[in-house]
Amino acid sequence: MARNGSIAAKQAITVRKTKYWEWRTHRSNYQPQLALEGNLPGFQKTFNPVTQPNGTIKFEPVHYNNSALNLSFSQGITATGGKIYGATQLQRFDDFDAKTRLYNAIPYTIGYTQPLFQFNQMKWDNRIAPLKYAESKQQFIQDMEFIGVQASAYYFDLLLAQVNYQIASTNLENTRQIQRIADEKFQLGKISRNEILQLQLEYLKAEKSAGTARRDMEIASMNLRAYAGMQTAGKIQLALPPSEIDMQVSPERVLEEAYANNAQSLAYERRIREARRDVAKAKGENGLNAALNANLGYSNSAADLGKVYRDPQNQQLVELRFTIPVLDWGRQRSAPKLRKLTWNSPGTQWSRTGKTSPRR
């Protein structure tokens, strides 16, 4: 009942679904992307500043429509961090003042962009995301088992409180019977008033114990109702479980189940990979950064839409952009070392097996 209706179970299910869709989003980043972009219409009627030959500014009226459609695809390359892309584009320009129309088209173009000496985000995400998803599945198993353990604890708390209340109620009833008999004996003069007062004191103690046991039982019942989602249930009367449980578990089986279902075993490996990613990112963001961009395609311009696709002209582009820090006051060396120090904390050091060992 707790695994089906408790707030903790619903929270665990929600987290599992969230992690699943995060995994789906991650996988979609490695699939071909197709997009249609457009600017329909691109009408404008205003005054634009125009720089004159003598350097002055003159505001000229413009009245035109500049519309464009662009269909493009792209595919990332995980191993290199580059991206291959292609596109086809059509643009129409209408000058309403001059009453002219012009079409510009790129029937197709294909290109490739490759970062050089830079951090490869796609490669590291592909290494870490599967671990995150597997960790979330094991975390869900762990959360559901913890719900069972917690519900069992509330179950036995209430069971013990019910037994204590039954004992306290029985003691109260027995004390009431003893006091009734003692009152009859006191009327006959067989016991003293001091003994009657002692019995009355014992009855008050038994009544107090019964009240305390009833309060504890109500609190335990509310705890179990709230945790197991049983707010609308009536009076709860628990059954006693068997006194003996036939279960044999070997230490090897315990370790096997722990590694198979405990999220911590994967969390250690994930943290190691994330630390290595941070070090690689710190190194990639310092020093020489360059990107190579190249594309090949055709383009044409004409007054008629049909002519724009006839005998298109060849277009080519090759460029290499780079950034070289000349003076950074030691930032290139300090950033990777900071990441390494964060990874190797002063108290513990991560090993390849995912366990921690004290640093000597």
Digit-coded pLDDT (tens) for 51-71: 988 889 999 888 989 999 999
The top-scoring range by mean pLDDT among 19-23, 180-184, 242-246 is 19-23
Residue 360: band (very low, low, confident or very high) from pLDDT cuts 50, 70, 90: very low
pLDDT for the residue 15: 93
Calculate the average pLDDT of the chain: 85
Is the separation of the CB atoms in 69 and 35 below 8 Å?
no
* Inter-CA distances, 272 with 127, 136, 262, 275, 352, Å: 11, 17, 17, 5, 8
Structure tokens given for 192? 């003293």
| 48: confidence class by pLDDT, cuts 50, 70, 90 | confident
Question: What's the confidence (pLDDT) of residue 266?
Answer: 87
- Percent of the chain whose predicted confidence (pLDDT) is above 70: 91
Residue partners of 220: CB distance under 8 A and separation at least 6: 154, 157, 158, 160, 161
Tell me what the mean pLDDT of segment 317-334 comes to.
74
Local confidence band at 14 (pLDDT 50, 70, 90 cut-offs): very high
pLDDT on residue 355: 44
Lowest-confidence region among 43-52, 175-184, 226-235, 241-250: 226-235
3-state secondary structure of 130: helix
DSSP string, 297-347: EEEEEESSTTGGGSSPEEEEEEEEEEE--S--TTHHHHHHHHHHHHHS-SS
Is a pLDDT exceeding 70 seen at residue 337? no
DSSP symbols for 254-277: HHHHHHHH-THHHHHHHHHHHHHH
Query: What does the pLDDT average to over 311-325?
Result: 84
Q: How confident is the model at residue 16 (pLDDT cuts 50, 70, 90)?
A: very high
Q: 121-170: per-residue pLDDT in tens?
A: 999 999 999 999 999 999 999 899 999 999 999 999 999 999 999 999 99
Lowest mean pLDDT among 22-26, 141-145, 197-201: 197-201
Provide the pLDDT for residue 345.
Answer: 54
Radius of gyration for the chain, computed over Cα atoms and rounded to the nearest angstrom? 39
Residue range 102-117, pLDDT digits in tens: 999 999 899 999 998 8
Confidence of residue 354 (pLDDT cuts 50, 70, 90): very low
Percentage with pLDDT > 90 across the chain: 38
pLDDT for 327: 67
The pLDDT score that the predictor gives to residue 25 is: 92
**Cα gap 343→279, rounded to integer Å:** 9
